[in-house]
Structure 1
Amino acid sequence: MNFLELVKARYSVRNYEERPIEQNKLDYIMECVRLAPSAVNFQPWKFAVITEKKLLEALKSAYPREWIKTAPCIIVACGDHNVAWHRKLDNKDHTDVDVSIAVEHLCLAAAEQGLGTCWVCNFDVPLCKEILGLPANIEPVALVPVGYPASQEVPEKNRKPLQDILF
């Protein structure tokens, strides 16, 4: 599969099979995440790979949607604002940008391995921090449920035409 085919195959999965993910696949995905670029190579990220049932159930309460209950794994992507590069001109903090690049590596690597993901940003951040016992300087940026899609049908993507995004 070439890169364009991979990008077309990746979509937001909201229903997963009830089967665990092989450790070698999780290791592969996280190696892809580790190699993601970041501003000035500061790598201001931490990731929690949650598969343990009790912790997984607690974490799912931070995003109370029925579909997430089907995910056998949630990867919590976190950023450390104290480590991130800040642009000198205006002090722009690149934590979210850097973590987002790494999360996209995660989603594409998972798709390549036959797994589905869904990038979740609308979750209870304080509850997530409490569940994971995160220190004040670590901010959860996204929850990424990971698992085998319950359906093999890839939905059509509704994207703007190329001419509408170029200027």
Structure 2
Amino acid sequence: MDFLSLAKKRYACRQYLDRKVEDEKLAAILEAGRIAPTGANYQPQRLIVIESKEGMERLARCTRDFGAPLAIIVCADTSAAWTRKYDGKMIGDIDASIVTDHMMLEATAQGLDTLWVCMFKPEAVRAEFGLPDEVVPVNILIIGYGAGEAASPERHDTTRKPLSETVFYESYGKKR
């Protein structure tokens, strides 16, 4: 499957079957995150894999889990992230997002469905999963076999803005 077809196949799944994700599929997802690019190759991502019933119950105290059998809490170690010298922007959150995207697309390639979750209680995640002060939870990737019908890959034709509204050439606001 070519990249655009894969990207269009991915959708925000909010209902999952009670079916465990196979270890080899999880390993491929984690490998996709491992090879993701990060600022200056500092690799500040810290991943917490949640797959036990007890772990998913703890996660449910922080956010909705949508009945998924697996989640990865994607964090950034702020003490290990690259910082842009011109304005002091620490990019650990960007690095963690790139890692999440790679894992999300690999999950899709593995025949799994995902939901990228940013609506969670950060302090609850810290408490439930023992995060040290320098490790910041950025997002949670929910993974499993979707229940119900998947969203159509063609939905992007109507749900996404046309490029003419979001792309400029040479300077902001300049159209081609």
Residue 101 (1) aligns with residue 98 (2): yes
Task: Give the CA deviation at 1:151.
Answer: 2.4
Residue 154 (1) aligns with residue 151 (2): yes
Q: Across the two proteins, how many residue pairs are aligned to each other?
A: 164
> What amino acid is aligned across from residue 71 of structure 1 in structure 2?
A
Within 5 Å, which residues of 2 pair with 1:64-143? 65=64, 68-143=65-140
* Aligned-partner Cα distance in 2 for 1:59–1:100: 19
Q: Deviations over 1:36-60 (max 9, x none)?
A: 0001000111101100111111111
Secondary structure of the structure 2 residue equivalent to 1:139: strand
Task: Give the CA deviation at 1:153.
Answer: 2.7
* Aligned-partner Cα distance in 1 for 2:150–2:16: 13
Report the equivalent of 1:41. Answer: 41
Structure 1: 5+ residue runs without aligned partners? none
RMSD: 1.0
* Aligned-partner Cα distance in 1 for 2:30–2:46: 11
> What amino acid is aligned across from residue 119 of structure 1 in structure 2?
W
Q: Deviations over 1:47-90 (max 9, x none)?
A: 01100111111111101x4xx24110110000011111001111
* Aligned-partner Cα distance in 2 for 1:119–1:61: 17
Report the equivalent of 1:19. Answer: 19
Question: For the Cα contact (< 8 Å) 2:112–2:144, is it kept in 1?
Answer: yes
* Aligned-partner Cα distance in 1 for 2:102–2:150: 22
* Aligned-partner Cα distance in 2 for 1:83–1:166: 33
- Structure with larger Rg: 2
* Aligned-partner Cα distance in 2 for 1:58–1:8: 32
Task: Give the CA deviation at 1:166.
Answer: 1.0
Which consecutive segments of 4 or more residues in structure 1 shift more than 6 A?
Answer: none
* Aligned-partner Cα distance in 2 for 1:71–1:134: 22
Structure 2: 5+ residue runs without aligned partners? 169-176
